[in-house]
Amino acid sequence: MKLKTLLLLLLSSVILAQSSATIISGVVQDKKSNPLPACNIYLEGTIDGAVSDNDGYFLFNSNSRGKKTLICDYLGYQSFQQEIHLNPGDTIRLVITLKESSIAGKAVTVNASVFSSGEKEGVTLTPLEVVTTPGAAADIFWAIKTFPGLQQVDEGAGLFVRGGDVTETAVIIDGAYLNHPYRYESPNGGYFGTITPFLLQETFFSSGGFSAEYGNALSGALIMESVDLPLQRQTTIGLGLAAASGSVSLPVISEKLGFSLSGNYSDTERMFKFNGHQREFSRYPQAYDLNFNGVYRYSPKGSFKLFLFRESDKVGIELQNPDENQFYRGDGLNNLANLRWRHIPSEKWYFTANLAFSNFAQNQNLGVLDLTTDERLYQARFIAEHRPNDRLTARVGVEAFRNQVLIEGQVPEDRDDISTSALPLRVDTDYLSNRIAAFLQSEIWMLDGNLKLTLGSRFERDSQSQQRLWNGRTALSYGLGNDWNAVLSAGAYHQFPRPDYYDPYIGNPSLQAMSANHYIAGIVRQTPREIFRIEAYRKDYDRLLLEDAQRNYTNNGFGFAKGLDVFYKRNWKAFLGWISYSYLDAERFWQDAPYAASPRFDITHNLTAVGELSFALRWRMGISYRYATGKPYTDGPTVYHNARTPDYHKVDANLSYVRSFFGNNMTVFYLAASNLLGRENIFDYTYSEDFQRRVAVKSSMRRSIYFGVSINF
């Protein structure tokens, strides 16, 4: 009896359901017709739906009528959508084929030639990796130099990008350009970067084809973002063989107001004495830096950030010369103040603006040369971004720069004679240039997010050259499936000579901007654990500055660079390793070159391999190997860059141990060994005037050890 009633009840409701509902059934499969279980199939705007079973089958009914959108979602696959028409009593049968999404369910986001560091998934280097990379001395520039496309010109931090000079790479922090991002500045950049990695949240490094948002750079761009509101109070004290440092982060009002303060002082005398050194110092390198980073979040939608930075360094080092050994003395002072505003009123809009002042004052003393240069850069910027839907982003910005260079002191009358007995010439002058720029950039996603097209255009006007310039840049990324992407990029770039090159006596007032065209093609595979990239590029440089007997400089220089970059990184549970290889062929007719020849940064092969292992919870070990082809140099009076120094080899290792002694603190002990094999690398030769005698320029230390401790609480 009971069963009968139940059946009756069931039957009647089925009839009821059938008269008013539509039955939707079908199967979900992948491209190879394999069934896909656990997919969510439903009608948009309703709760009606089902999950596919182990054979990919699903069945549900709906009381909705008329036109509806059927959606089928599955993690890691592109969402499927189809319009269906619901008539009461009908049965709809469907075969749904899902396509794999290119990167973990998201549209293509890979850009040509971009390497990034930060905490997000898929970054090339995490902040910790920057700090623990062997041989990188916890320096962001040194760590970036383990990427392909960067040439090992000397042991410094200078970013020579794909056959471009160090001055052709823009360095930007929180939207503000830093004209002198190096410490212990030298013609090859400098020995370290000024910004410590602990202050940075994210870093993007582009070795070419960068977007229209960045200008006045011919070859590369390094874009850094400083840390945001601190999450918790944290104090760090560090003590090493040559440095002492301290930092505090303090959330004053949770999620509203907070700041970080840090300072470093380094005196390398003990380190050099401990390890022994190959060159004499009249003053051992000494430096300090201070930093303040304050964030005020006035609402969940917007914030102000003030970043203040000051760095000072001095050095007195022997320059070995066959004619007369001289001491070079350099004092540098770097300041930056940047106020940035950010506002995100909705998911569709983003506004940012910043005002910045930076200056770099330097005193250089060598023989008769005694020069003080003060370069000041004032800048303002406003950027608006609109994202009307998932398929389009448009960014527009305006920028203004005022660059002032003050030079005072004495220089040798004959530019090539810097001996103490040379005739001095007094200089006291200043230069000024104003520049305005505007850019428009849009990113368009097509083919279900599988194709990303970037179109950019940049306009600049410079007061010194009276030039107006337009640059067009474009890039294309295409998802090939299985986490593979193809990238193509082409763009025009330019860079104005520094204002002092326009001096009528030592420069040329009619100079124009130098220019470069980049063409890049490559493929990338990126998963959370693995990154593989291979890229080929060609760059044509034009209107480079060429020394000229009558007019000092002209724009008659030119050159090219072409090459291939390969990068592979893999993250196992406790082991992490990456390998970079770059091939480069570059030629330039510029500066003092008498004909088109290899510039000093034409390093044919560059190889870096890094491995890091963490074990027993507390230990971490890393080892790296770097190889570079020798650098071109000139070994006679009638030739130019006709020979190469011996190849460069270097093995570095480090070891760290973490433990806590009391309460919640964390203490890290570390030991780093540089140039383990003790190879004597030669970076250049300096010749006597008649080219009869020469001295090799080597690194200042041969094999060296550094150790220290860092306490965090």
Partner 1 sequence: MRTFLTILIILITTLPAIAQTNTDSLIIQQRLALDAAVDNWNEADMRNVRATFERILPLTDKPWLAHYYIAYADYNLGLNLISQQKSEEAEKFIDDAVEHLMKAIDIDTKFAEGFALLSTCYGLKINFMPIKSIYLGPRSGVAISKALSLAPDNPRIHLIDGIGKYHSPRMFGGGIDKAKPSLEKAVELYQSFKPASALLPDWGYEGPHVWLGRIAMQEERWDDAQQHFEDALAIKPNHGLVKYVLLPKLNKSRTNEQVSR
| List of residues contacting partner 1 (CB under 8 A) | 10-11, 13-14, 17, 21, 23, 38, 40, 42, 45-51, 53, 59-63, 73, 75-76, 104, 119, 121, 126-128, 231-232, 300, 528, 571, 573-574, 576, 614, 617-618, 658-660, 663-664, 666
- Contact between 311 and 280 under an 8 Å Cβ cutoff? The reply is no
H/E segment holding residue 332? strand 326-346
State the Cα–Cα distance between residues 380 and 678, nearest whole angstrom: 48
Q: Which residues of 631-649 are buried (b: 16+ CB within 10 A; e: fewer)?
A: bbbbeeeeebbeebbebbe
CB closer to partner 1, 474 vs 614: 614
Provide the 10 A C-beta neighbour count for residue 525. Answer: 17
State the Cα–Cα distance between residues 194 and 242, nearest whole angstrom: 16
DSSP annotation of 144 reads: H
CB closer to partner 1, 58 vs 272: 58
CA angle (337 as vertex; 335, 339 as ends), nearest 5:
165
CB closer to partner 1, 251 vs 559: 251
Handedness of CA 415, 161, 266, 234 (dihedral sign): positive
**Residue for token digits 């922090």?**
173
State the Cα–Cα distance between residues 167 and 158, nearest whole angstrom: 9
Q: Which residues of 314-339 are buried (b: 16+ CB within 10 A; e: fewer)?
A: bbbbbbbbbeeebbbbbbbbbebbbb
- Give counts: helices (H), strands (E), the chain: 4, 40
Q: CB 119 → partner 1: shortest distance, Å?
A: 6
Q: CB 478 → partner 1: shortest distance, Å?
A: 24
Q: Which residues of 658-686 are buried (b: 16+ CB within 10 A; e: fewer)?
A: beeeeeeeebbebebbbbbeebebbbbee
Tokens of 523: 């493929």
Q: What contacts 269, CB < 8 A, 6 or more positions away?
A: 242, 284
Closest by Cα among 69, 367, 276 to 699: 276
CB closer to partner 1, 506 vs 655: 655
Q: CB 194 → partner 1: shortest distance, Å?
A: 24
Q: CB 193 → partner 1: shortest distance, Å?
A: 21
Q: CB 38 → partner 1: shortest distance, Å?
A: 5
Q: CB 153 → partner 1: shortest distance, Å?
A: 31
CB closer to partner 1, 11 vs 677: 11
Enumerate the β-bridge partners of residue 343. Answer: 302, 351
Provide the 10 A C-beta neighbour count for residue 706. Answer: 18
Q: CB 80 → partner 1: shortest distance, Å?
A: 14
Q: CB 533 → partner 1: shortest distance, Å?
A: 21
- Contact between 478 and 383 under an 8 Å Cβ cutoff? The reply is no
- Contact between 526 and 483 under an 8 Å Cβ cutoff? The reply is yes
- Contact between 621 and 613 under an 8 Å Cβ cutoff? The reply is yes
State the Cα–Cα distance between residues 173 and 225, nearest whole angstrom: 6
H/E segment holding residue 271? helix 269-275
Q: CB 236 → partner 1: shortest distance, Å?
A: 13
CB closer to partner 1, 68 vs 162: 68
- Contact between 292 and 258 under an 8 Å Cβ cutoff? The reply is no
CB closer to partner 1, 14 vs 639: 14
State the Cα–Cα distance between residues 457 and 401, nearest whole angstrom: 19
State the Cα–Cα distance between residues 247 and 224, nearest whole angstrom: 20
CB closer to partner 1, 121 vs 413: 121
Q: CB 106 → partner 1: shortest distance, Å?
A: 11
CB closer to partner 1, 232 vs 466: 232
Q: CB 551 → partner 1: shortest distance, Å?
A: 55
- Contact between 346 and 388 under an 8 Å Cβ cutoff? The reply is no
CB closer to partner 1, 36 vs 593: 36
For 293, phi and psi rounded to 5 degrees? Answer: -135, 110
CB closer to partner 1, 293 vs 674: 293
Q: CB 351 → partner 1: shortest distance, Å?
A: 19
- Contact between 443 and 475 under an 8 Å Cβ cutoff? The reply is no
CB closer to partner 1, 201 vs 457: 201
CB closer to partner 1, 439 vs 670: 670
Q: CB 29 → partner 1: shortest distance, Å?
A: 17
CB closer to partner 1, 38 vs 677: 38
Q: CB 39 → partner 1: shortest distance, Å?
A: 8
